[in-house]
Amino acid sequence: MTGPCTRCRTPLEDGDLRCAVCALPVSRALEPTQHARVQILRCTNCNAAIGFDPNARAPKCGFCSSTMQIEEPVDPVETAALRVPFGVPREAAVESVRDWLGKRGFFAPKALRDEAVLDTLQPLCWAAWIVDAQAQVAWTADSDAGSHRSAWAPHSGVAQLRFDAICVPATRGLDLEEARELTPYYELSRAVAVGAPGIPGETPAMIESFDAQRSAARRQVQRAIEATAKTRVEAFIPGRRYRNIHAACMLEGMTTHRVALPAWVVTYRYRDAVWRAIVHGQRRDVVVGKSPTDWAKVAVVVLISAVVLAAIAALILLTRK
C-alpha cells in the first residue's frame, strides 16, 4: 500500500497509475531516465536499432526478430487474494446444462436437449472485485408526492451512503452480461484465502488473472455502484410510488478485495455450430449462455401473426362498410 489518495481518500495500491476512483494521477518516484525524451535501444544480438512493435507489444529487433524484453508493465498484474469454493461437482454441472438446454423456450430446436453434444466442461474461477466505499449520491426521480394534474412530480436530493461488498466483474473470459447474471448468486461470506487448503472433494480449478488494473476498471466500478445506488436512494424519495430514478455518485474511500468466483464453462455443439453456457459454481440451478434458434418455428409464427393481423384488418374494414 502507498497511502490514500489526497483527493478522495481511497487507499492506493502498489501499481495504481491513477486513483481507482477519482483518477488523480499517482506520481512515481523520481528516476534518472525520466528526462530522456527518446532513447534508441540496441539489440544485444545484432546491435541493430530496435523499435517498439505494436504487434509484439514490446521493443523488437527488425533484423533478427528478437523481442528485446517482454514489456515489463509498470503496473503489476494482480491475482485474486480470495476465492469462493466450488459447490457444484462435474456430474451436477453436466446435468444442469442438459436441464437448461431442455428449457430454452418455444423458439429453441425441439431436439436441442438430446442432440447437443457437450464438447468441453472446464472449471474456472473468474476474476472480480469486492468493493466497499462511501459516496455522496445526488439523485433525481419522479414520485406521486406533490403531483398536480400529472400523476408524477419531479424531486431531487443528495444523500451520503455507504456501500459494502459490491461485486464488480473484472473478467475478460466471461462477457459482461454473463458475469452480471451470475454475480448475485455467490455467497461471498464463504470466500477463503487463495492457497488455503482446499475443501475435501472440491474441484480444482484454474484462477483467472486480473489483466486490468483496478484504476483502469473505474467505469465498471462506477456503473456497479450507481446501479446499487439507484435502489438505495428509493428510501429518500418522498411519496408512495416513484419512477425514472437517476443517481450520480462521488465515491470516496473505496477499498477493494480481489476475489475468484467459481463457474463451469461449457461448450456444446449443435448441428456443426458451437455454443457456450456457464454453470454457476455454487448454484447448479443458475445457468447462463446462448443457444440456437429454430428459424423454421420463427417463420411459422411470423406467418401466422401476419395472417391473423390481415384477418383482423379485413374484419375491421368489412364492419366499417
Q: Which residues contact 112 (CB under 8 A, 6 or more apart)?
A: 101, 102, 104, 270, 291, 292
Instruction: Please state the closest distance from residue 83 (CB atom) to another protein, in A.
Output: 24
Instruction: Please state the closest distance from residue 28 (CB atom) to another protein, in A.
Output: 6
How many whole angstroms separate alpha carbon 230 and alpha carbon 163?
12
Residue 304, classified by CB atoms within 10 Å of its CB into exposed (0-12), middle (13-18) or buried (19+), is: exposed
Instruction: Please state the closest distance from residue 159 (CB atom) to another protein, in A.
Output: 11
Question: Which is nearer to another protein, 73 or 238 (by Cβ)?
Answer: 73
Question: Which is nearer to another protein, 273 or 318 (by Cβ)?
Answer: 318
Question: Which is nearer to another protein, 198 or 239 (by Cβ)?
Answer: 239
Question: Which is nearer to another protein, 120 or 244 (by Cβ)?
Answer: 244
Instruction: Please state the closest distance from residue 20 (CB atom) to another protein, in A.
Output: 11
Instruction: Please state the closest distance from residue 179 (CB atom) to another protein, in A.
Output: 16
Instruction: Please state the closest distance from residue 124 (CB atom) to another protein, in A.
Output: 22
Amino acid at 305: S
Question: Which is nearer to another protein, 60 or 284 (by Cβ)?
Answer: 60
Question: Which is nearer to another protein, 27 or 189 (by Cβ)?
Answer: 27
Cβ(257)–Cβ(80) below 8 Å: no
